[in-house]
Structure 1
Amino acid sequence: MGKDTQTKGTVFVALAANLVIAVAKAVGGLISTSPALLSEAAHSVADTLNEIFLLAALRRSRRRPDAQHPFGYGKERYFWSLLAAVGIFVMGGCFSFYQGITAFHEHEPHTLKAFLIATAVLVISLIAEGSSLVKALLQVRGGAREHGRSFRTELREGEDPTLRTVIGEDSAAVLGVLLALAGVGLHWATGGRQWEAWASLAIAVLLMFVAYRLGKDCRDTLIGEAADPRLRQRAHELLTRQPEIDTVTALLTMRLGVDSVLLAVRVDLTEGIDSETVEEAAVRIKSTLAEEFPELDQIFLDVTDATAEDRREAHELGRSLRAEAARHEGRN
């Protein structure tokens, strides 16, 4: 819950910044008739609505399991983050694309007053968006220290989609403001309005790319993404070390939420174990797994007789888990 409180604070900062900036950009864009500034206004409006989606995700994903949702509501966080990605694409990207296309056919004069208004609004926006981005990145750095991995790895593979969405939005916002500033500046310097049109189109492409990346991450988890390869490999090693287990024939995982993972294991026990010992061993093994890996809050242990084919697959399972964990470690 402490992480959620920190993430909620980051989202609130982004919400406040985007709300104020959206109003400033819209007013400034209407006064200056700058298509690049109006595109950025649409961008900020989309981000503002998306922060509301993310706050809903934080609240709803922590609801307790019930009869209709026995594994809890952890995946709601990914659903609302997916909606946020759609919002970035539709409200930000499509409107910016429209502004860019129409700007090629407009020929309104760009006065010094309009240039100064657009520039002032964009510079203030850059400071506000940059401050929000810095706060989100500081939270990522704290997570990297906690998990003992690099900043880049934490940024790429952090479990919280809400934080990744905020960082994606803020990064796109900072780059979008820089593109708008370039378009406005070149328009003033050359007298060609097409520079702002190109800036609007560049902002549209940027927003659509960010929306695609965020949506892809959420889609993978909603479909049913496996847990971290290192966790799977370590869980497999722990199981194979248990004296009652002869062979681990299958090990399946699925992320249910930010800090919730389902583990389903099929094992063949050593010969000569009576039914009472089997029950005691199952309870102890589950307890050991839960203690070693706190994120494993749903553990299912299936005892079966392994065939010769199962044993061959079990050998391949151990080899593939070690190889995948090694590749994952190498990328980090």
Structure 2
Amino acid sequence: MAEQEQESTLTVALALAANLGIAIAKIIAALVTGSASLAAEAAHSVADTFNEVLLMVGLRRSGRPADRRHPLGYGKERYIWTLLVAVAIFGMGALFAFYQGVETLLGHPPGESDYTVGYIVLAVSFVLEAISWQQAVRQVRADARDEGLPFLAYIRRTDEPTSISVLLEDSAALTGLLLAFAGLGLHQLTGDAFWDGVGSVLIGVLLTAVALILGRINLNLLIGSQADPRLVRDARARLGAAPEVEWVADILTVTFGADRVLLCARLDFRDSLTAGDVERACVRMARELREAHEEIDEVFLEPVPRDDPELRARVIERYGRPAPPPGPS
């Protein structure tokens, strides 16, 4: 996990350096050319630069160890900062792009003076963004391979949103550069600023879509999502196979940080066991679960009677299906 943290920091740092240089170049080019698409892309890069700073802060703050006031640590703080990234993409990037595009479409375009500068800046920006994008793709693919998941499945399931944020930002940046190039080129060819305005509006639509996707990912993580279904199935199988356990009545998992899972299980133990036997079995099973899955950080095992009607009703209410019927003890 420490190696993954270092890789995430490298990915964010590279994106920060690239976006800062690109933002400065785009601002100068937008002022020189007067292009609405370039102005929208300049706002996009400024937002991305600000976002990388937020991601760096999130990485640092979420890595703090647990303490008395926060016994489960600060892992979820990363999701707060990544959610702020989604807000910044929309507030700083998309809204400005919409403003520039609508103003141009309404017939108030600034006068263009030098298209060549715009093309050069867009080309250089594309190269720099591509370098950052390659690093983000490399990390996400490596993480997906480590998790044994296909690329897209990993993006949907991951509890580590930092590299996904950079990947989505860079993908949007590359697409936005192509839209800006098209808008600028069509404006030059036709002499009609309409195309420049359309390019700016499309960049706004693109940024809005990215903001919504990032917001959705982090909203689910903040609410608290179940751990990887494969981990849940394996934990249930391991607990059910323990010689002291008659039946796994219920099992709950919650992610509370990147690669950090809390697992709670209610178990019906054999009636012949003493209290000491149950205690030793709980300690052993918790240790075995943590050894099998390094992301499991905390384990709570609760002895329960299998025929308890209240427990059965709670399980049915949560999962929408009957719990396995209790058999004889």
Superposition TM-score, scaled by structure 2 size:
0.92
Identity of aligned residues (%): 42
The match for 2:86 is 85
User: Is this contact kept in 2: 1:50–1:87, CA < 8 A?
Assistant: yes
Structure 1 counterpart of 2:11, one-letter code: T
Q: CA 1:97 to 1:315, structure 2 compared with 1: closer, same or farther past 3 Å? A: closer
Letter in structure 2 aligned against 1:229: P
Match of 1:106 among 95, 105, 108: 108
Q: Which residue of 2 aligns with 1:329?
A: none
Note if contact 1:250-1:317 (Cα within 8 Å) is conserved in structure 2.
no
2:295 maps to 1:295: yes
Task: Provide the residue aligned with 1:192 in structure 2.
Answer: 192
Q: 1:315 to 1:183 in 2, by over 3 A?
A: closer
Alpha-carbon distance in 1 for matches of 2:81, 2:164: 13
- Counterpart in 1 of 2:167? 167
1:324 maps to none
CA distance in 2, matches of 1:246, 1:311: 16
Conserved? CA contact 1:236–1:318, under 8 Å: no
Describe the SS at the equivalent of 2:255.
strand
Paired amino acid for 2:102: I
1:285 aligns with 2:296: no
1:24-47 CA distances to partner (integer Å, 9 max, x unpaired)? 000110111111001000000000
Shift of 1:192: 0.6
**CA deviation after TM superposition for structure 1 residue 243, in Å:** 1.1
Q: Distance in 2 between matches of 1:238 and 1:317?
A: 22
Q: Which runs of 5+ in 1 are unaligned?
A: 321-332
2:72 equivalent in structure 1: 71
CA separation of 1:235/1:24 partners in 2, compared to 1, >3 Å: closer, same or farther? same
Closer/same/farther in 2, CA of residues 107 and 154 from structure 1, 3 Å limit: closer
Is the CA contact 2:179–2:203 (under 8 Å) kept in the aligned structure 1? yes
In structure 2, what is the Cα distance between the partners aligned to 1:317 and 1:243?
28
| Structure 1 position 143, deviation (Å) | 1.8
Separation in 2 of the partners of 1:214 and 1:249? 36
Counterpart contact for 1:248–1:267, Cα < 8 Å: yes
Conserved 8 A contact 1:239-1:245: yes
* Partner SS state of residue 162, structure 2: helix
Whole-angstrom CA distance in 1 between matches of 2:215 and 2:259: 20
SS at match of 2:265: strand
- C-alpha displacement at 1:118, in angstroms? 1.0
- Conserved in 2, the CA contact under 8 Å of 1:249 and 1:317? no
What is the one-letter code of the residue matched to 1:282? C
SS state at 1:173 partner: helix
Q: Distance in 2 between matches of 1:308 and 1:75?
A: 34
Moved more, 83-92 or 139-148: 139-148
In structure 2, the CA distance between the partners of 1:317 and 1:28, relative to structure 1 (3 Å rule), is closer
For 2:207, give the aligned amino acid: L
CA distance 1:317–1:224, change in 2 (3 Å): closer
Q: Give the TM-score, by structure 1 length.
A: 0.91
**Aligned-residue offset at 1:158:** 3.2
Distance 1:107 1:145 in 2: 49
The answer as to whether partners of 2:32 and 2:112 remain within 8 angstroms in 1 is no
CA distance in structure 2 between the aligned counterparts of 1:85 and 1:51, rounded to whole angstroms? 11
| 1:75-118 CA distance string (max 9 Å, x none) | 0111110011110010001111111111122244434xx21111
* Closer, same or farther: CA 107–6 of 1 in aligned 2, 3 Å: closer
CA RMSD for the aligned pairs? 2.1
Indicate the larger mover: 291-300 or 35-44: 291-300
Change (3 A) 1:187 1:318: closer
Partners of 1:39 and 1:246 in 2: CA distance: 63
SS in 1 for 2:251: strand
Query: Unpaired segments of 5 or more residues in structure 2?
Result: 322-329
Q: 1:59 to 1:269 in 2, by over 3 A?
A: same
Indicate how the Cα distance of structure 1 residues 116 and 147 shifts in structure 2: closer, same or farther if over 3 A, else same.
same
State the AA in 1 paired with 2:14. Answer: V
SS at match of 1:69: coil
Aligned to 1:47: 48
Cα distance, 1:278 vs structure 2: 1.1
In structure 2, distance between residues paired with 1:305 and 1:141: 45
2:224 equivalent in structure 1:
224
1:9 alignment partner AA: L
Partner of 1:94: 95
